[in-house]
């Protein structure tokens, strides 16, 4: 049961990453429009555009950490399984939300007038 839960946690993080990738995709089209004008993309948006594919390392690294954790938990008691599973789920959700929030803010900034403040 613990292995299934840990596997779902990794799947949840992959879904957060894919959603983050979808959120930043419209800005990719703006990147070419901004290149033709004198305006620059906001700094945060530029960083997000550069690291959007590299952000895939987060779910991949989390999958490796999950496998190591699962192997280490195999000889532990049920109470330890539960506490580590709860902690793993919490960290998974926090990582996923942080990833989504970063790319969402970076994707919205070019459409807002306030984005000129962050340049």
| Helix, strand, coil in percent for the chain, rounding step 5 | 85, 0, 15
Give the pLDDT score at 115: 47
- Predicted confidence (pLDDT) per residue in 9-60, tens digit: 999 999 999 999 899 888 877 766 665 665 677 788 888 888 888 888 999 9
- Predicted confidence (pLDDT) per residue in 73-110, tens digit: 888 787 788 888 999 999 999 999 999 999 999 988 88
The domain spans of the chain are 2-118
pLDDT at 117 over 60: no
Cα gap 66→83, rounded to integer Å: 14
DSSP letter, residue 112 = S
pTM, whole model, 2 decimals?
Answer: 0.81
């Amino acid at each position: 049961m613990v292995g299934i839960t840990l596997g779902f946690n990794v799947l949840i993080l992959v879904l957060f990453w894919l959603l983050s990738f979808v959120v930043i995709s419209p800005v990719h089209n703006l990147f070419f429009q901004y290149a033709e004008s004198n305006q620059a993309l906001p700094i945060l948006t530029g960083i997000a555009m550069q690291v959007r594919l590299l952000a895939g390392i987060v779910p991949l690294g989390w999958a490796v950490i999950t496998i190591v954790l699962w192997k280490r938990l195999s000889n532990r008691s049920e109470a330890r399984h539960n506490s580590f599973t709860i902690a793993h789920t919490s960290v998974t959700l926090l990582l996923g939300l942080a990833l989504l929030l970063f790319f969402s803010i970076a994707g919205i900034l070019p459409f807002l007038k306030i984005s000129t403040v962050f340049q």
